[in-house]
């Protein structure tokens, strides 16, 4: 699949995977879904669910490290800044031959344009936070988050999943 195809599918994901409301209970259900998926894969992941007001959930599975939490933080910063998934931003920069420095001199110690963080959109409110996974290759981190969001929102992945 080409970069443009991936970007189009991610844009569809970002458009479709939106909540009517999002609260601590919603975050907890999403965290549990991510944990179940991670355990089923024996994946050494961390997951973090933040609103712009506060952290609502975070966990680590066996094999994950503190570095994974730092990667999640840096990916979430990308979502906060651009209100796009961290994977979409990384692919867009790669397609355009640009870097974070070209997008406002954002330091890599605080921003990571690698897959795994996805915006939490609430209809009528916009982007209110992000969910991030770190510990797998970036495309798999992204896919894990998208699958959990789709299940939680009762959405089908057909036509929007990355192949």
Question: What are 3-48's pLDDT values in tens digits?
Answer: 999 999 999 999 999 999 999 999 999 999 999 999 999 999 999 9
CA neighbours closer than 13 Å in the CB half-sphere of residue 116: 27
Question: What domains lie within the chain, and their CATH numbers?
Answer: 3-153 (3.30.450.150)
Q: Mean per-residue pLDDT for 79-84? A: 97
Q: Please, what is the angle between helix 86-96 and helix 66-82, to 10°?
A: 70
The pLDDT > 70 percentage for the chain reads: 100
CA neighbours closer than 13 Å in the CB half-sphere of residue 67: 5
Tell me how far apart the alpha carbons of residues 77 and 130 are, in angstroms, rounded to a whole number. 9
Q: For residue 75, which of 20, 116, 17, 34 has the smallest C-alpha distance?
A: 116
pLDDT band at residue 163 using 50, 70 and 90 as cut-offs: confident
Residue 57 is predicted with a pLDDT of 98
The answer to pTM > 0.85 is yes
């Amino acid at each position: 699949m080409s970069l443009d195809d991936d970007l189009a599918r991610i844009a569809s994901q970002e458009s479709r995977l939106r909540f009517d409301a999002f609260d601590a209970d919603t975050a907890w259900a999403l965290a549990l879904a991510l944990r179940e998926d991670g355990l089923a894969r024996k994946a050494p992941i961390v997951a973090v669910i933040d609103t712009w007001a506060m952290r609502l959930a975070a966990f680590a599975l066996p094999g994950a490290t503190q570095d994974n939490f730092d990667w999640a933080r840096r990916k979430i910063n990308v979502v906060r800044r651009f209100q796009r998934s961290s994977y979409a931003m990384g692919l867009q920069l790669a397609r355009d031959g640009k870097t974070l420095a070209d997008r406002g001199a954002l330091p890599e110690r605080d921003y990571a344009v690698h897959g795994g963080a996805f915006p939490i959109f609430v209809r009528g409110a916009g982007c209110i936070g992000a969910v991030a996974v770190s510990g797998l290759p970036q495309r798999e981190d992204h896919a894990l988050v998208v699958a959990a969001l789709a299940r939680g929102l009762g959405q089908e992945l057909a036509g929007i999943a990355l192949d």
